[in-house]
Amino acid sequence: MDKQEALLRRDLAAAYRLAARFGWDDTLYTHFSVRLPGVAPRFLINPFGLLFEEIRASDLIVVDMDGRVLEGGADYNVAGFTIHSAMHMARADAHCVIHTHTMAGMTVAAADGGLLQLNQISAEFHRRVGYHDYEGIALDLGERERLVASLGDNIALILRHHGLLSVGASVADAFYVMYYLNKACDIQLAAAPLAGVREMSEALSQHACEQFQGSEWQRPLLWQAWLRKLDRECPDYRN
């Protein structure tokens, strides 16, 4: 294993452990992946059967775009392969793909209006989130093309009646996007019972979104802080 793959394994295992700590896990279900470097397209994903809190860097399996397990003595979630292979095949910048079934994410995914522009956090996703209509459990590889079309050039996708998905140039980027997308959904749920809730204007949402895009250099700093947290609390994720 070369140094780059070792770092990608560490980061992806860290993403699973952090997700467990943030309450994003769904027993054995949902999945994160990261594309491996090289000529042949391949990606790392979790082996089916492990809880997020158990996953270590060495547990991750290598899968190609035809669904063959190239490394690792386990199988994967089939629906996860459909979703992740679609993004890795179509978006050169989608090095990491994160998919969750959180309560807040699934609730907003069921709402006609989707994600509303209610606060500073949701503004980061102004016109940067796609929507994909539910087709049932993603077992049909034909859905890959439609998933890609729904994502477009956005940084995230709301899978209606299903959950959330984020993409990024690194694990740090995709995890950051998911963290704040889920937080925006949390706030929307908290605001729902209030009377007189109003959305921000189009102009203000766009302005704040552009400001956020100018601060993306800060994401690696946050990722390193999260890694330090894991190193204190469960350093075995690196194994």
Please, what are the domains in the chain? 3-238 (3.40.225.10)
pLDDT for 1: 66
pLDDT for 39: 79
Mean pLDDT score of the chain, rounded to an integer?
Answer: 96
Distances (CA, A) of 96 to 8, 111, 174, 188: 10, 27, 6, 26
Question: In this structure, how many other beta carbons lie within 10 angstroms of the beta carbon of residue 196?
Answer: 4
pLDDT over 90 at 40, yes or no: no
Average of per-residue pLDDT across 228-239 = 98
- Which backbone phi and psi does 137 adopt, to 5 degrees? -60, 135
pTM score: 0.95
pLDDT for 57: 98
Average of per-residue pLDDT across 116-122 = 96
Neighbouring-strand partners of residue 32: 98
Residue with tokens 């279900």, as numbered in its chain:
29
Q: Which helix (H) or strand (E) segment is 175 a member of?
A: helix 171-191
pLDDT tens digits, 48-71:
999 999 999 999 999 999 999 999
pLDDT tens digits, 167-176:
999 999 999 9
How far apart are the C-alpha atoms of 31 and 109, rounded to whole Å? 18
One-letter amino acid of 148: V
How far apart are the C-alpha atoms of 210 and 207, rounded to whole Å? 5
pLDDT over 80 at 35, yes or no: yes
pLDDT tens digits, 208-232:
999 999 999 999 999 999 999 999 9
pLDDT for 122: 97
Average of per-residue pLDDT across 123-138 = 97
